[in-house]
Amino acid sequence: MNAAGIVFAVVFYAAAAVFILGLGYRIRLYAGTPAPLKIPTTPAPTTNSGVALRLVRETVFFESLFKASLWTWLFGWAFHAALFLVVLRHTRYFIEPLPGVLAFIQPFGIYAGFVMALGLAGLWARRFLVDRVRYISTPSDHLMLALLIAIGLSGLGMKYLVATDVVMVKAFFTGLYTFSIQPLPSDPLLFVHLGLVAALMIIFPYSKLLHGPGLYFSPTRNQADDPRERRHIAAWAARMESER
Amino acid sequence: MADVTAPPLREFPIPPKVEPDAMAASKPYVAPEKIQEAIGFPGQLVENWHEKAIGRMGELLRDYRSLRVYLDSCVHCGACSDKCHYYLGTGDPKNMPVARQDLMRGVYRRHFTVAGKLFPKLVGAKELTKEVLDDWYKYYNQCSECRRCSVFCPYGIDTAEVTMAAKEILDSVGYGQKYSNEIIGKVHKIGNNLGLPGPALEDTLLGLEEDTKEETGCDVRFPLDQKGAEVLLVTPSADFFAEPHVESLIGYAKVFHAAGVSWTLSSHASEAGNFGLFIGNYDQMRKIALRIREAALELGVKRIIVGECGHAWRVAYSFWNTLAGIGAGGDDKFSVELQSQLDMRYRQPTHICEYTWDLIEKGALTFDKEKNDHRVVTFHDSCNVARASRMGDTPGGQFEIPRNIIKAVANNYVEMRPGTTREATFCCGGGGGLLTDELLDLRVKGALPRMESLREVADGGGVNFMATICAICKAQFTKILPYYGFNRSMVGGVHQLVSAAIRLGDKH
Ligand code: HEM
Ligand code: SF4
Ligand code: SF4
């Protein structure tokens, strides 16, 4: 146990709590809010399996964004796909023994780090270069990109510039499961990386990062186009009928 | 009224430069006290409007998942920023869908989110000041609720949902829009948007019978309030006398005549339009829809068919089952009462185009297509039909069926540029309760993208007729086509083409 280990253990317990509780609260709020009318953007699937497929296409390919803007799609999709690989690569710090698939993608995870940074840079460039996007950008939009880029660069830094003791890092994180606090290597870059990741987890449920869960609760995307075949009515609206 | 100017057609369809406040002067007349109070809203801006507006917003967030999720989810990616015809026509950045949403999102952040309460500047949170409220009034009345933005947003964020919520909040604090709210009052009082009373309607229909007899030699009927008829036709009231709308009404009558089916209009429900949709008020929308239920029960009809009207078809197709139990699947008392009367082998409600196309497919109608040979036809998809409803059994039927009908009754058909039709169609510029004279400048500018693709097929393909199935599109185009150097009679209904070509035979 060292000081860094104690500080970061506290930080990550707190961040995980905020992340899980905050996100859970938000998702319950979405799920509990009625959608009183059928408003899928048509042409829309007429069955629930069709809807599931539509959501998979939106998640995996960013289908609507592809139709909207090739540049945004290119940078955005590259960033998310890379982020996904990077997250998968990070499982090696959390799971022992590592399942085959996760072991297999490890090398791709490294290249993904670069793609992620490039994708983010492209998205950021749009915020300066395209007058429409400049107009709608708030400081938090810039900060969010800065935060993610900083996470990516500090991570790459540990891979290529100042290596850290990954065995210790793994022992630290797996230790957290059993509330046994292990020491962390005293590398400034690691502190930056971990600090920013914790910040991201805390910000997540209170920011536009809610777009992840948001997609699955978006009535224009998650409703089947069957209003003539099935009666769809919210509880608060059905009450009006008994009042008649 | 401000000067009305049409922007030049763009040579390449690139988005215009951002021009802040370009349309800051555009706003519709505020509803006077009498109009507001007639439909249960405060007569004028209430003293505690701020508190009431925030309160109403909280209720809407509780009742509408769309609003809640959409206000949270936008990442400001800008994918929608060049998709709105009003932005393309005006360059005013507040007409970018995302910026339009942000007018409300700022207030949402300020009052309903942790981040907005702690760090308002950082996340763009804004207090609802009188200036912001005025901006709402201006710019939510520059959205035709066409949903084009929702097609392209990666999360399907539908600005129309935000606009409707904003209009509902504005109404609830006594800051309503005259045009829409006056029309809603008329429906309740008289039965239709145009305020055409029963006897006048009867006269009009008799006149149409005479005209059609003269034209065709056949006794084509236009029945009103006929109990026991098979079909109740609910159509926008503009069909009763506005040009070119009435030509389509004659078309529907000829189709029923040729099919030998008894049908009727209703004086109680002489309006398919439902402006309750435009102002985002569930109660109003429901009350207006209930008139159709009442008329159907009263007249004992077996089928309900809806005439050519975009937003009316959205409400009928997507909402009537919810609002008035017109449709299948409901097993509650309210729904079953109507289902037991209607013939549930048919789709309830049916669009007139579905009806006509079914007959054509069965070979029940015959046409002299050459009667339309003086025309080269294109088809303008109306937003609410294209992006908020369906026809037939498969997704996209709303695109195919009207085109199929046109091709069955006319020889010359040309499609407009991809990306401006089907689900990516551009609004006519007059939908969503904006079809009023004081907004003419906005309407002309908003029509720009549609006019560009029409110009292409007019010059390149000889198109001289743009068919459409929406009463608002027809009225809007009739008014604005001349600003772009087109003849106003270029626009008309699909059933206007049907009417010209259909063979009636000698059935009298
Ligand atoms: C199911 C999960 C997710 C889906 C479907 C999704 C989809 C998208 C899409 C379509 C965009 C817009 C295009 C773009 O700007 O890239 C976007 C933006 C963004 N996403 Fe995600 N995302 C998901 C999860 C995440 C997660 C987990 C993070 C970060 C931890 C994230 C961070 C971001 C950021 C920062 C942006 C804004 C980029 C900018 O500022 O331009 N997303 N997302
Ligand atoms: S709904 Fe239509 S009019 Fe409104 S912002 Fe979106 S594209 Fe523009
Ligand atoms: S496309 Fe959707 S997420 Fe992107 S800016 Fe527009 S509304 Fe926001």
Which residue from B439, B437, B429 is spatially nearest to B137, judged by alpha carbons? B439
CA-CA distance, A71 to A73, in Å (whole number)? 5
Q: Is B323 a residue whose pLDDT tops 90?
A: yes
Q: Ligand 1 atom 13: the closest Cα is on which residue?
A: A76
The answer to whether the CB of B384 falls within 8 A of the CB of B468 is no
Instruction: State mean pLDDT over B296-320.
Output: 97
Q: Which ligand is nearest to the CA of B155?
A: 3
Does the bond joining A97 to the residue before it have cis omega, within 30 degrees of 0? yes
**pLDDT tens digit sequence for B325-381:** 999 999 888 899 999 999 999 999 999 999 999 999 999 999 999 999 999 999 999
**ipTM of this model?**
0.96
* Assigned domain for B27 exists: no
Which ligand is closest to the CA of B429, given by its number? Answer: 2
Q: Are residues B204 and B257 in the same domain?
A: yes
From the CB of A215, is ligand 1 less than 6 Å away? yes
Least Cα separation, residue A226 to chain B (angstroms): 8
pLDDT band at residue B507 using 50, 70 and 90 as cut-offs = very low
Number of domain units in chain B: 3
**Using one digit for the tens of pLDDT, what is the confidence trace for B478-505?**
999 999 999 999 999 999 999 999 999 7
Read off the CATH number of the domain in which B61 is found.
Answer: 1.10.1060
Q: Does the predicted TM-score (pTM) go above 0.90?
A: yes
Measured in angstroms, the CA of A23 and the nearest CA of chain B are apart by 12
Which 3 state secondary structure label does DSSP give B297? Answer: helix
Residue A87's pLDDT band (boundaries 50, 70, 90)?
A: very high
The length of chain B, given as a count of residues: 508
CA atoms within 13 A on the CB side of B47: 0
Cα B153 from Cα A64, distance rounded (Å): 6
- The answer to whether A41 contacts B83, with C-beta atoms less than 8 Å apart, is no
- C-alpha to C-alpha distances, B34 to B42, B138, B178, nearest whole angstrom: 10, 22, 10
- B332/A contact by beta carbon, under 8 A: yes
The answer to whether residue B323 sits within a structural domain is yes
Three-state DSSP state, B125: coil
**Regarding beta strands B465-468 and B350-351, do their DSSP bridges make them parallel or antiparallel, or are they unpaired?**
unpaired
pLDDT tens-digit map of A4-40: 999 999 999 999 999 999 999 999 999 999 999 999 9
Nearest CA to ligand 3 atom 8: B74
| Ligand 3 pocket, residue B79 CB under 6 Å | yes
Domain that includes residue B466, residue range: 367-501
Residue B2 pLDDT:
58
- Whether B282 and chain A come into contact, CB under 8 Å, resolves to yes
DSSP state of A134: H
Domain end point (choices B125, B153, B176): B176
Residue A110 has pLDDT above 80, yes or no: yes
Q: Tokens representing A153?
A: 């660069």
Q: Region B434-458: what's the mean pLDDT?
A: 97
Angstroms from A39 CA to nearest CA on chain B: 7
Q: Are residues B315 and B186 located together in one domain of the fold?
A: yes
Q: Which residues of B touch A243 (CB under 8 A)?
A: none
Instruction: Please indicate, yes or no, whether residues B191 and B301 belong to a single structural domain of this protein.
Output: yes
Tell me the pLDDT tens digit for each residue of A124-151. Answer: 999 999 999 999 999 999 999 999 999 9
Q: How confident is the model at residue A244 (pLDDT cuts 50, 70, 90)?
A: low
Q: How many residues does chain A have?
A: 244
B130-172: per-residue pLDDT in tens?
Answer: 999 999 999 999 999 999 999 999 999 999 999 999 999 999 9
**Centre of ligand 3 from the C-alpha of residue A213, in Å:** 15
Question: And the tokens for A23?
Answer: 């996100």
Determine phi and psi for B270, rounding to 5 degrees.
-90, 35
Tell whether B475 and B425 lie within a shared domain. Answer: yes
All residues of chain A having their beta carbon less than 8 Å from the beta carbon of residue B151 are: 41, 64, 67
Domain identity same for B246 and B276: yes
Same domain, B188 and B323: yes
Phi, psi torsion values for B73, nearest 5 degrees: -85, -20
Average pLDDT taken over every residue of chain B: 96
Same structural domain for residues B167 and B215?
no
Instruction: Please tell me if residue B318 touches chain A, with a CB cutoff of 8 Å.
Output: yes
What is the dotted CATH code of the domain comprising A3-243?
1.20.950.20
Residue finishing a domain among B176, B206, B231: B176
Confidence class for position B194, pLDDT limits 50, 70, 90:
confident
User: B120 and B104: one domain?
Assistant: yes
Residue having the nearest C-alpha atom to atom 4 of ligand 2 = B143
Contact B332 A36 (CB under 8 A): no
Query: Within a domain: residue B22?
Result: no
> Is residue B475 situated within a structural domain?
yes
Output the CA B147–ligand 2 centroid distance in Å: 5
Our mutation pick for probing the ligand 2 site, out of B146, B153, B278, B448, counting the most ligand atoms within 8 A of Cβ, is B146
**Chain B residues touching A65 at Cβ < 8 A:** 77, 79, 152, 154
A99 CB near a chain B CB, below 8 Å? Answer: no
Picking from B77, B108, B114, B354 by the largest number of A CB atoms within 10 A of its own CB, the best residue to mutate is: B77
For residues B431 and B494, membership in a common domain is answered with: yes
Domain extents in chain A: 3-243
- Taking only the tens place, the pLDDT of each residue in B400-434 is 999 999 999 999 999 999 999 999 999 999 999 99
Check residue A243 and give its pLDDT.
61
Chain A with chain B: Cβ pairs closer than 8 A: 227
Closest CA to B187 of B248, B60, B276, B100: B276
d(C-alpha B120, C-alpha B127), whole Å: 9
Ligand (nearest to CA of B159) = 2
B390 touches chain A (CB under 8 A): yes
Tell me what pLDDT residue B508 has. 40
Distance B75 CA to ligand 2 centre (A): 18
B11: in domain: no
The verdict on B390 and B330 lying in the same domain is no
Point out the ligand nearest to the CA of residue A136: 3
pLDDT tens by residue, B367-404: 999 999 999 999 999 999 999 999 999 999 999 999 99
Alpha helices in chain A (DSSP H): 3-32, 48-61, 63-68, 70-90, 100-129, 131-136, 139-160, 166-177, 188-203, 211-217, 219-222, 235-243
Query: Which of B324, B354, B384 is the endpoint of a domain?
Result: B354
Q: B317 in contact with A at a CB cutoff of 8 Å?
A: yes
Q: Does one domain contain both B324 and B418?
A: no
Q: Which of A136, A222, A236, A243 to mutate to test the interface with B (most CBs of B within 10 A)?
A: A136
Same domain, B336 and B228: yes
- Of A4-18, A101-115, B104-118, the range with the lowest mean pLDDT is A101-115
Query: Confidence band (pLDDT; 50, 70, 90) for B3?
Result: confident
Q: Which residues of B touch A64 (CB under 8 A)?
A: 79, 151-154, 156
**B192: CA distance to ligand 1 center in Å?**
47
- Smallest Cα–Cα separation from B462: which of B403, B405, B501, B412? B412
Q: Which of B82, B103, B157 to mutate to test the pocket of ligand 3 (most atoms within 8 A of CB)?
A: B157
B84–chain A Cβ distance below 8 A for any pair: no
